Amino acid sequence: MTVIAIPTIGPTTGMSSLLDDTEAVLTGDESWPIVGEGFAEDLALVPEETVWRIMREMVGLNKYWDCLPKAKLAQEISNVGFVVVGSLLVTSGDGQSQYGYYFNPPYEFHAWVSLLPPSLSPGPILDVALPGVIEKGLITSDDIGPYLINREPVILCGYPPSWCQYVPAKVLTVEDLEQY
């Protein structure tokens, strides 16, 4: 099992691993708000009912981890976009700290679906793993306190809000995705 380093702003760097969260699995009954500039049910590249279908199909995946299988499943079901890996930093509601993952594979990275061709990035994103990232940031702390406060878990479908910083590093090919 791989140990994931989670860089944070503050005096310490936390360490976390999938072994810490083996009980945190998705049941298919989860429901989070969908956000994203440009997301409107009638104009969305991915309709809301498709997002909920994706969420129901993620049963058994780890709530806080498994971003790559989640992105792959989201792309397969929605039949739009490209699976991208890179960095994601979520800024706390008070603007004082961040939680997320830098691009340092295979130990640390985040995966999402870019809804437009990568040459048009930054563009709208479908990130069904974002709620787990936010929840993990809310429950993870250092000697100062939780990494994230005043931030609610959400699914992103559209342009990211200013408090979510996505930095793409690589678009995964069909051959890359076949490995997972």
Q: What is the pLDDT of residues 91-135, one digit of tens each?
A: 999 999 999 999 999 889 999 999 887 766 668 899 999 999 999
> And the tokens for 37?
């500039």
- Work out whether strand 34-35 and strand 155-158 pair parallel, antiparallel, or are unpaired: parallel
Residue 17 has pLDDT above 60, yes or no: no
Task: Tell me if 101 is assigned to some domain.
Answer: yes
State residue 102's pLDDT score.
94
Task: Tell me if 153 is assigned to some domain.
Answer: yes
Those residues whose C-beta lies under 8 Å from the C-beta of residue 72, and which sit 6 or more positions away, are 83, 111, 177, 180
Whether the Cβ atoms of residue 113 and residue 71 lie closer than 8 Å to each other: yes
DSSP letter at 12?
A: -
Task: Tell me if 138 is assigned to some domain.
Answer: yes
Number of domain units in the chain: 1
Full domain range(s) for residue 77: 33-178
Task: Tell me if 89 is assigned to some domain.
Answer: yes
The mean pLDDT of 151-162, rounded to a whole number, is 94
Length of the chain: 180
